[in-house]
Amino acid sequence: MSEYGRRAVSDDYQLGQVLGTGGFSVVRIGVRKEDRLQVAIKTLKKYGYGTGKGKRKGKGHAGSEARMWQAEALVTNEILVMMRIVDYVSPHPNIIHLLDVYEDDDAVHLVLELCRGGELFDRIVEQERYSERDAATVVGQIAAGLAALHHCGIVHRDLKPENCLYADPHPEAPLKIMDFGLSHIHNVTNAVVGVFGSMDYMAPEQLNMSGTMPANDRWSLGVILYILLCGYPPFRAKTTRDKQRRILTGAYSMEEESWGCISLEAKELIRGLLSVDPFVRPSAAELLSHPWVSGESATRELIHEAVFIRFQAFNARRKFRAAAYASIVRTKFQLRTKYLKELIGDCILTGAELEDL
Ligand SMILES: Nc1ncnc2c1ncn2[C@@H]1O[C@H](COP(=O)(O)OP(=O)(O)OP(=O)(O)O)[C@@H](O)[C@H]1O
């Protein structure tokens, strides 16, 4: 971090292939010139995509002004949180490590450790099938990361499967929590970003903006666990309003047939994590010592085949939506089907899905 603000990122790193794009960022592979170390370089545009710095000074459209404000707030937020992680958390096996920061007129570049193992749900889909024990290992790794973050006052606020990447393709590789753009540090950052993030994983108190607290992340973990064990999300509805209502009242069920094969301990854990009252949810430390999470009671028996098939379908839809969302934000709501198709890659879309977009 010693060179922050003095050198250009291209002085020290060769920039390579794009790994992914987010609403306000692009992530590329980088190679450190000094020792050929491969890294991920996340470039956060200070004023958002498609809005040059010059425009900021002019009388911009109200919408683009708001977007620039959002971009600046998100960049500042992410840097503050990453710095806090460097000071108080790193190195931690379950939290992405920040190696360096560079800044130029338009962007901030975060040099991060490179995760080559893919997203959490993608790896699970690649396996033939999985067991409760595998799900418990995932919960244990995320809980360990959350315990470290919460201990130093950081609430992630956007915990979801796409923000959990495996360090490398090895089966025992650690799972890392990343993407701290919406995170909050107690007494340091303003929760400036309001209701952003994915509603599917958002706790009731986040949705009605009544509280930013570590328990927010434990609800999100409960949603991830629920999906792992049945292949669909707990709060499903035809309209956003109905989904909001379900989340706010904790209206989900574990009655469907395949839940019959899931252990009582796992169901109890889900009930705890998905309690509408945040103070009832188990703490990250309690999670780590929970017998199901620590592996003493979680079975190695393979999960029901129907669950795995549903999980695959859910993951394909999820990837499609994420690609579409990134496209919408980055093209400022002007959808271009050709670009969308490029983004979506292998994900097969029906005509109706494309039309919907
Ligand atoms: N350290 C990393 N190693 C490997 N790939 C990464 C790394 N960081 C990010 N990526 C890839 O880049 C993509 C975008 O990164 P990231 O989610 O951090 O951007 P974002 O703008 O915060 O996204 P969003 O708008 O969806 O929150 C990720 O989905 C991931 O595939």
Q: Do residues 260 and 246 both lie within one domain?
A: yes
Q: Do residues 140 and 272 both lie within one domain?
A: yes
- Residue 345's region, left for phi above 0, alpha for psi from -120 to 50, else beta, is left
Residue 347 lies in a domain: no
Residue 80 lies in a domain: yes
- 296 against 251, higher pLDDT: 251
**Domain boundaries, position 302:** 118-314
Q: What is the ipTM of this complex?
A: 0.94
SS3 content of the chain, % helix, strand, coil (to 5): 45, 15, 40
| Amino acid identity at 116 | R
- The predicted model scores a pTM of 0.86
Q: Which of 165, 327, 343 to mutate to test the pocket of ligand 1 (most atoms within 8 A of CB)?
A: 165
Residue 15 lies in a domain: yes
Active-site residue set: 158
The two tokens of residue 113 are 């450790």
Supply the mean pLDDT for the chain. Answer: 85
Work out how many domains the chain is built from and give that number. 2
Residues in the chain: 357
Q: Are 47 and 56 in contact (CB under 8 A)?
A: yes
Q: Do residues 167 and 262 both lie within one domain?
A: yes
CA–centroid distance, residue 90 to ligand 1 (Å)? 19
Residue 55 lies in a domain: no
Would you list which residues are annotated within the binding site for ATP?
42
Residue 333 lies in a domain: no
**177-203 burial string, b = 16+ CB within 10 Å, else e?**
bbbbbbbbbeeebebebeebbbebbbb
- How large a percentage of the chain has pLDDT more than 90? 61
Ligand 1: residues with CB < 6 A are 19-25, 27, 40, 42, 96, 112, 114-115, 162, 165, 178-179, 181
Beta-strand ranges (E) seen in 7-132 are: 13-21, 25-32, 38-45, 98-103, 107-113
Span 294-350, pLDDT tens digits: 977 888 999 989 999 999 999 998 888 777 766 665 554 444 445 554 554 444 445
Span 148-163, pLDDT tens digits: 999 999 999 999 999 9
Residue 330 lies in a domain: no
Span 191-228, pLDDT tens digits: 555 556 688 999 999 998 888 899 999 999 999 999 99
Among candidates 92, 133, 116, which has minimal Cα distance to 27? 116
Cα distances from 262 to residues 83, 138, 323, in angstroms, run: 41, 16, 32
Q: Which of 13, 18, 19 to mutate to test the pocket of ligand 1 (most atoms within 8 A of CB)?
A: 19
Q: Do residues 123 and 108 both lie within one domain?
A: no
CATH number at residue 278: 1.10.510.10
Element (H, E) at 191: none
Among candidates 153, 169, 159, 112, which has minimal Cα distance to 139? 159
Q: Do residues 146 and 208 both lie within one domain?
A: yes
